[in-house]
A and B are shown apart, each in its own frame.
Chain A
Amino acid sequence: MNVEQKEPARGGAIETREIVAGFDTREVLHGISMQIQPGQVTALIGPSGCGKSTFLRCLNRMHELVPSAFIRGSVQLDGQEVYDPELDPVFLRRRVGMVFQKPNPFPSMSIRDNVLAGLTLTNRLKASEADLLVERALNQAALWDEVKDRLKSPGMSLSGGQQQRLCIARSLAVDPDVLLMDEPCSALDPIATARVEDLIQSLAGDYTIIIVTHNMQQAARVSSRTAFLLSGELVEFAETNTIFTSPRDQRTEDYITGKFG
């Protein structure tokens, strides 16, 4: 458990204060305050419907994309208010990338174009710059050696695990500080899962990673801190080793030992 992580070389500190969020009249999060250290892997665990994914989406303002969504409270990224009306959400989402449950490469694009997709929306790149970026991002995502000879093949031609690493490469290509991962391995086989977990640990230190997972062993393996959410409340947030060996709160104990409900 808990690979020792490097000192962060960059930003990516997140602080939430009393986040209250939901849809229409239904409140999903009832006031979540957390301090997430830069360069660390933080796992969010909890039963379905506890608000993990909603919380994750509040961090890069994806929650507000749902028409009925509401949010109150504060999210700060390196001291800057994420919900500042002056802040461009598109810019924010470049600093705070997201990887989803199901790999979602753009179907009509090649592997190379998928990696560059986030950049070409806002930047004009020379071909040589683009080549370097593609190689760097695919290397970071531990996919380069597997795809370097077929960069023009469709992204969809890759296996599920490779597609997920391609999506991670796409997120990394825009040089974010934070990566949000919403059950990134739930659609992958054990070998592909191990590759993604290995990747998460190799990215720690350089990026702040927040991962939502239902797989508690995965949370125990990859994260240094773990938060347990229940019914929209933060029950316990502590060192991962503590959470999985001697949690303080009986509700955490009941959940991780399978006595919940």
Chain B
Amino acid sequence: MPDLKSHTDKIFDKELAEVSHRIERMGTIAGDMLAASVRAFNTRNTTLAREIMDEDTQVNRLEKNIDQLCLEIIAKRQPMASDLRFLVLVMKAVVDIERIGDIAVNVSERTMDLSRGALTGSWEELSEMGAIVLSMVRDGMRAFVESDEVLACEVLKRDAEVDRLFVKVFADLIELMGNRPDVINLGIHVQSVAKWIERAGDHAMNLAEYAIFRVKGHDGRHAGRS
């Protein structure tokens, strides 16, 4: 849970709180974009898809802005221990959040393409995947901002289900395209959407891993694979 003890220099507390506030805001915008992009895809809502593409500039601006703020604090304060971990991890987390925003844009672009084609309807597994990934992004963000290790571990556990659904969607689409060569072009777009959403889940996993690193002080990434 968050360290409630304050710094002797109260301005430092305010600076760290500002970083926390900004990354939370960035995460909320990117999460909302992803949610809206999945909704736009399911309903082929091109107006919504276009709005999402416009919102990406906000996320990009916040990424640069947060990086700059962290650089200034590191230069000014030479932070140590949990403060150092927090700032370094924020600078990594903004990259993942920015990528989640990009994924929402990618999904929206595919929605625009699909709206012109004959392949209609939504895939149940794809919607389910979207819902799980969305929960992972939101909870991964919350775990990071609130230093909630338990929630972060929950997020990590959800990825297996995302992977299972992704494999299912992929196989279904291959089968469909085999039977209907006329929709191959559009089927590839849907496969891309599935891949993008699965990737967003990976970025949410990164956020959860940063949360654990922030709390425990050791890097648990790639456990057993490095």
Does the CB pair A245–B85 fall under 8 Å? Answer: yes
Does the CB pair A246–B9 fall under 8 Å? Answer: no
Does the CB pair A246–B80 fall under 8 Å? Answer: no
Residues of B within 8 A of A67 (CB): none
Given known A-B contacts A245-B85, A245-B217, A257 and B80 have beta carbons under 8 A apart: yes
Using an 8 Å CB-CB cutoff, how does the interface string of A165-197 with B read, 1 for contact, 0 for none? 000000000000000000000000000000000
Does the CB pair A256–B80 fall under 8 Å? Answer: yes
A254 interfacial by beta-carbon distance below 8 Å: yes
A246 to B44, CA, bound (A): 49
Residue among B8, B12, B81 facing the most chain A CB atoms (10 A cut-off): B81
Does the CB pair A257–B83 fall under 8 Å? Answer: yes
Does the CB pair A245–B81 fall under 8 Å? Answer: yes
Given known A-B contacts A246-B81, A247-B81, A254 and B217 have beta carbons under 8 A apart: no
Given known A-B contacts A245-B217, A246-B217, A246-B218, A253 and B8 have beta carbons under 8 A apart: no
Residues of B64-93 whose CB lies within 8 A of A: 78-85
Does the CB pair A257–B217 fall under 8 Å? Answer: no
Residues of B within 8 A of A261 (CB): 8
Does the CB pair A245–B78 fall under 8 Å? Answer: no
A9 to B6, CA, bound (A): 46
Given known A-B contacts A217-B78, A257-B79, A258-B12, A245 and B7 have beta carbons under 8 A apart: no
Residues of B within 8 A of A216 (CB): 78, 80
Residues of B2-42 whose CB lies within 8 A of A: 3, 5-9, 12
**Chain B contact patch, size range:** 10 to 19
Using an 8 Å CB-CB cutoff, how does the interface string of A225-261 with B read, 1 for contact, 0 for none? 0000000000000000000111100001110111111
A254 to B83, CA, bound (A): 10
Residue of A nearest to B79 (CB): A257
Residues of B within 8 A of A253 (CB): 81-82
CB distance from A169 to the nearest CB of B (A): 30
CB distance from B111 to the nearest CB of A (A): 44
Residues of B within 8 A of A245 (CB): 80-81, 84-85, 217
Residues of B within 8 A of A260 (CB): 8
A244 to B83, CA, bound (A): 10
Using an 8 Å CB-CB cutoff, how does the interface string of A16-47 with B read, 1 for contact, 0 for none? 00000000000000000000000000000000
Contact of A258 among B3, B7, B85 (CB under 8 A): B7
Residues of A within 8 A of B9 (CB): 258
Does the CB pair B218–A244 fall under 8 Å? Answer: no
Given known A-B contacts A216-B80, A245-B81, A245-B84, A257 and B218 have beta carbons under 8 A apart: no
Residue of B nearest to A254 (CB): B5
CB distance from A220 to the nearest CB of B (A): 8
Residues of B within 8 A of A246 (CB): 81, 85, 216-218
Does the CB pair B6–A259 fall under 8 Å? Answer: yes
Given known A-B contacts A245-B217, A246-B217, A246-B218, A257 and B78 have beta carbons under 8 A apart: no
Does the CB pair A244–B217 fall under 8 Å? Answer: no
Residues of A within 8 A of B7 (CB): 257-259
Residue of A nearest to B217 (CB): A246
Residues of A within 8 A of B3 (CB): 259
Does the CB pair A259–B5 fall under 8 Å? Answer: yes
Residues of B within 8 A of A220 (CB): 80
CB distance from B217 to the nearest CB of A (A): 3
Using an 8 Å CB-CB cutoff, how does the interface string of A77-111 with B read, 1 for contact, 0 for none? 00000000000000000000000000000000000
- Enumerate the 3 nearest inter-chain pairs by beta-carbon distance, A residue then B residue, closest first: A246-B217, A256-B80, A259-B5
Pick 17 A–B contacts, CB within 8 A, sort by A: A216-B78, A220-B80, A244-B81, A244-B84, A245-B84, A245-B85, A246-B81, A246-B218, A247-B81, A252-B81, A256-B80, A256-B81, A257-B7, A257-B82, A258-B9, A259-B6, A261-B8
Extra contacts, 8 of them, besides A246-B217, A258-B9, A258-B12 (Cβ < 8 A), are A217-B78, A245-B84, A245-B85, A246-B85, A246-B218, A256-B80, A256-B81, A257-B82
